[in-house]
A and B are shown apart, each in its own frame.
Chain A
């Protein structure tokens, strides 16, 4: 198999991929000049497909294809220049027109007038995500579970601060004491009840293991949750 036959399908594939990527780029661009330049890229992909044949006839076809492409490119660029001049002259009523406007009769959403603080998801989502994280941490138990529970609590508190709904200083004072007290009690559970009982009554090891794991999770979770309170206070 000679090199032309070997490369034929690959060249066709490359040409079509370049064309499709250019179409995607045209759909994403902002200015008309970029549209024009990217459209020229599509024509280069067309030349790639013709050149993939690799015979004398293909060589004879590339030249007219290139000439026609350049002629269209020049005509379109001339129209673009003239239209921009006209737009500059009467800039009072410059309505922005879009590429497929003839087929799409749709109003654009007014992004600037949307009130982002009124979005429902900002109020409901943090509770849900925090709840899921705390549940998953309780399911894991141990030090890892405590860290995940704490991240849920932290996320909830930080998101409350972010939407301007922070906890007041008086609430913080109470909750700080409560959480640190709760954390101390859990520490006692973990060390004294779970860890010590683990050695004293080895035949009931499963019971003490569960106590130690849950207590450790609650202790680490509440301890790290305090960081969120600190952040809000400062």
Chain B
């Protein structure tokens, strides 16, 4: 298989011929996959942060901690987010990638909304609204690419030139709304120094990796 993909993503190691959804391995995607899995493991193993709120002029110091029930949900959400990020690094299908982004968006919403404060819940709600709105450019752009070229496979799209600038711009806009904007809303939850900080850091990590991977896809298909 002669591929133009080597120049950007590094050496091509092969692909998994598994139905429609083709996972492929390049140097870039393998590095991203390993990073995401490693941090998922870190999130699984670490204990959540506790904090002591001291009151000035009063003796009502109180210890904030995460209850076991809340911890389970947030850890589950963070692990789902990490696994989806890891496999979004490998996938070779544009629509599949968009679905991974949507699932990461839902998991981000879950992580943010686990903090039971009204302002944080409002931030999670508005992040959900933005994510739902940006499914239109994200899935719409992959539909437009399918309509123009007849395929959604990144490996096929990388072979020939298709003049996809407009569709790529819409796709990038959808990615920004779906996942790239999440740290702005996660900052709302972090501002309170909510107990259980490492889970929120997963949002930042997934957003960073997804942005880099999207840029790589947008450069590969042309």
By a beta-carbon cutoff of 8 Å, the part of chain A in contact with chain B is: 8, 12, 15-16, 19, 23, 26, 32, 35-36, 39-40, 42-43, 45-46, 49-50, 52-53, 57-58, 61, 64-65, 68-69, 71-73, 75-76, 79-80, 82-83, 86-87, 90, 94-95, 97, 99-103
Contact = CB atoms under 8 A, between A and B. Distances in A.
B129 interface: yes
Contact of B113 (A53, A65, A82): A82
B139 A46 contact: yes
Contact of A72 (B106, B126, B140): B106
Contacts of A75: 106, 109-110, 128
Contacts of A95: 119
B116 A65 contact: no
Given A42-B136, A50-B143, A53-B147, A102 B128 contact: no
B39 interface: no
Contacts of B135: 42-43, 46, 65, 68-69, 72
A64 B21 CA distance: 13
Contacts of B152: 57
A42 B129 CA distance: 10
Interface stretch (B2-10, B95-103, B207-215): B95-103
B118 A90 contact: yes
Interface in B64-115: 95, 99, 102-103, 105-106, 109-110, 113
Nearest to A51: B143
A95 B121 CA distance: 13
A42 B132 contact: yes
A103 B127 CA distance: 13
B54 interface: no
Contact of B129 (A16, A35, A50, A65): A35
Contacts of A76: 109, 125, 128-129, 132
B144 interface: yes
B146 interface: yes
A32 B125 CA distance: 9
Given A83-B125, A97-B119, A99-B126, A69 B143 contact: no
B132 A82 contact: no
A29 to B, nearest CB: 11
Nearest to A8: B147
Contacts of A49: 136, 139-140, 143-144
Indicate the size class of the contact surface on chain B.
35 or more
Contact of B109 (A79, A87, A99, A102): A79
Residue among B109, B110, B117, B132 with most chain A CB within 10 A: B132
B185 interface: yes
Contacts, number: 116
A142 B129 CA distance: 63
A66 to B, nearest CB: 10
Nearest to A82: B121
Given A61-B95, A75-B106, A50 B140 contact: yes
Given A72-B102, A75-B110, A86 B139 contact: no
A97 B111 CA distance: 20
A87 to B, nearest CB: 6
8 contacts: A23-B133, A49-B139, A69-B132, A72-B105, A80-B125, A82-B121, A97-B119, A102-B187
A105 B146 CA distance: 41
Interface string B144-168: 1011000010000000000000000
B136 A43 contact: yes
B222 interface: no
Contacts of B99: 64, 68
A45 B106 contact: no
Contacts of B38: none
B118 A102 contact: no
Contacts of B144: 12, 49
Residue among B103, B119, B122, B152 with most chain A CB within 10 A: B122
A94 B119 CA distance: 9
A87 B120 CA distance: 12
A150 to B, nearest CB: 55
